Structure 1
């Protein structure tokens, strides 16, 4: 056997040697390989390609190596040669592309003959050609140019997609290529001209390679098209064989040109009517260009030469020349626009006054230039002089002027409607009255009076009725003046101030206030209607000593504020504690505005649970204020002031953004909280920009719910609120009615709003475990919810008995301290993972 094996090996070696000799006559690389691409024989170019490698696949890219292996397996299985196999060899100078032919080796079925042809140059040429084609295509698309080509030998037109789109023709629609049909689409005024241009363009006339015309769009309107084309190939006899070109829609440019033409005509008419002359001067070239208006203005012939330092300068009045030159030089040097007025002496010897408006600038050619307008104001100057003379005569009438001055001063210091002193007069009198009271050892009282329901009178009966009420109030206050020391003023709108020197007796001032309120409450007859207003009065007193009059007014204003808050139609005296309350509220308001800027409002979450399974079904976001000095504050500490200064809607919006972000964190941690609910104030529900703000948030439909207080009144005529509610539903945001059961909502309003859930007020839930009446009431609310297909959420769940009773009554969702207290975001992760509520 060994002898026999040795004989076979020698035979194979002889065959491979013979094969190598045969491969040598092939000029391109030729190899004999086995199924693993190991090289058994190769010609000289093949060995050079291998560079000492033993396997052909080692030279190839991974993808090409896999492709070669697949081809070897296919050839081995079918015995069929394969051609056109593209293989890439990675080298330092770049990829070498080879075209491979593969065939079974004749003397041995386990071997394969491979011939390789270098096609790298061809591949590179193709790549360059494709890149050039892409560039030209991108350039044409980017410039929105439509490409067309006509082949006379094929009688065939090619029109690009942009060419079709420009005319409103679909990509697959046939195009009418007959000349008559095409000319039908051309604007009647352009047809003859276009036919001639096309003929000259086809003939190769360079003057007609570009032309424009109007063509009818598919929808009926005309568009302006700029056509660029030429004959690029001809028959031997000179007839056009290939004509190619591009079309561009220049409608917008033509419209702009037309608008500029219209504007130019209007400007020309305006300049002619106003007799304004326009000029432009180039200081670097020393030239000046005048329009016809300038020549007419200066009485100069149109053909006369105009240049800097010449005609215009010679006509300037000698007394104005130096000043005008200095002004021009200074403003041109600093490129500042300026106006001026000067005299010129025309050639007929007359002197005219010219007013100019001038703009210096640097033009695109780098030259210092100036453009301006001149117009003759001689008539204005003469008129001004006449007016000055008339003024001089008028000033001579000193007595009349003094009377007019006194009247003007009275008007300036008195209210035009009531003839009472106004705020300005009050400011002047304050210090004088305070000084007089100090000197006499008296106190000073200020009564700040505001008419109640005045706006309703104005809105219902009109401003004339309101004016009548104000005159009535002025008469009442004027009649209440006791002596020369009292002072009454109307300080604006329906507000009045009564200043009264006093000895500090509050009873006397209270009696005065009661009399004023009683008199102001009396009806005023206007056009047969009884108008009633009433009044609220704030009273402040400064005892003898150094009286701060302005602080006195401020204190009276604070007292008025409390009188109105206490129910109106009454009076209140100022006291220091109330001032302190006002200051505290003001500081809190300032802190709240700063808190918004510093992002100090944070959500705390109270989880909601399925009444049957106690699974978490949601979380209510409750606002907390992380005050830098006072720590974490609940809404009771700040919500009333926030409502007063109108920032509750902003807080609601901020809380919603944070709740949506926190819900995403729960999902990322694999914690299931299907829904977050946030409170929505009345102001936010009426925000016309609410839909845009909600659209900017990213949340899944059904994952967010808005809680509306039952006390929110949604009038059916309130289009903004109804539109916002409709949009909220479209976004997949649920609607919940909070604190249900406090007596504001009706079944009709529920049907109109159509909420997804009702939250039973905690006051109704508190005694449900002990009181049969409470259980029946809660059960009725649950029945209402079922009949309206509305889920019922119970708040105030404090004990396990609450859980048991409410679940038995059919409540859907439970929320309360007995299951989960409100907690910060970072505490929710441990709570949700521990599920400790199930053991309570």
Structure 2
């Protein structure tokens, strides 16, 4: 290391030196250049010539050496001195910079040349040679000081990337390995992009990832084309700010915005980019992509009965099970509520993997989920659309998969179906019908017909079943089988069901005023039964028309009765407590589980018409079902009785009431009264057995 002073390699002090040293000191003291040696580690001056003592406003060398300059040294100055020290150790480096000294608090701007000097104990100190800069503009002084203290990283580089200058903040941020500007960039393409923009615009600002002494960081780099004020060569002036915390906050915010907070799955906002990425990857590999639209059946009932905490627990378990089925190249998305998407890679023109996957999803989600109070059960309905076979954009695929899922819902749920073109025209027809149904409700286009129920023991009509018809302005009288499924799926069934209930009880009240007492049967949908307010609605309408609760019988299917739904069971209990009768419709072809039947109280069981109409072949089954009903001590009604033989056989084998075209088809209310006086044999002579309902 250079040692510019002809001093002994002993501690530099102010003690009396020998003659040669005294001579050298005398020469140095005569210089108009201030010279002093600074111990960077101790933060003290260890030697100074006379001009330096004057600059530092020190009465003596001893007084100057006693000053602890580290006590009020700013962090920026300390970092800069440590950078100098490291460079002095590494090489014979020198630096000339504008500094402002503060002897006893008075600012003195100086141009100082710094070089390394080895102290007597082997540590690296710093030789300082300073000359006062008189007449400098305040802006010049302040700008030099700002460059020293600012946290902004300022550097200058030639067009090849070689670093010409770095302020302390820049020096501290970039290790020696990254002294070349281009080597800072994590992606070389970012450097090339910056140079190209500089060439075109002269100034550019980019946020890029760079390598620093603290690892990879995000910096906002502002670069401007300029010339080096020393050599005049074309250069790049760079200022940088660390924006890593901002980028991390943005990443967290983006992640939160694009992920479902409950399950952690990507959400609807993330779907588009996720789909495009998977589709592009599969296109390159010659593979296709399937979109499985998964909707949980009867999930609302869990939220309504067990609470949203249990519903959330179920959704988290569903997402976990779906993730367990995910393979490389797949993705699971939660759209919201109880709707999920499964994006699955597949071979083009070969849906075998998708069929297998759909079956696995059905099986996995059907397994009970342990809840806080009791196990929870849901089943999925799955609609499937294929990319690129059915569509190439995510919105069309979702629409087509939704149509397929909608078809599954309409056909019993807990299944999967692939989209086909027929579904689109079917859906368009359904949408048109939904619009017509809304208009029908507004325009009072619905009417109620009544079909008699004949008592075998009393040999007369004892009740009627209310059956809705739609007087369509273009298509005439429309049977319920054509529009009730659409009303169910669209949610209009609640309004239609309430209309039938009101009209039936209004008519019953009118007959009662005429002295005619008939039991009124009204069909009830699952959607109505799932409404917590349904019992109150029934009670309100009964009171409105003054009908005894026992005169009303609500018919529901076996499926509805055996739903694992606490709201349904609570509603049925409340209705029976009110005095309303409960009947099971279409019994004998569904669950027909005696153990389950014993858990619920019903008043009437109506045998399914398909069993009755083929009674010759179904006699063993009918005998068993009738025996089961007798065991339960309920009223047994045979539906679909169309011939004398059907009537005779069902009456002989224990059915209490008979209903069907043999007695009467459904008719308007005005046609019921003439039927009340007819006996069994009269009805048999007059009615045809060839009607089709």
- TM-score of the aligned structures, taking structure 2 as reference length: 0.48
Give the structure, 1 or 2, with the largest relative contact order (CA under 8 Å, sep 6 or more): 2
Structure showing greater radius of gyration is: 1
- TM-score of the aligned structures, taking structure 1 as reference length: 0.40
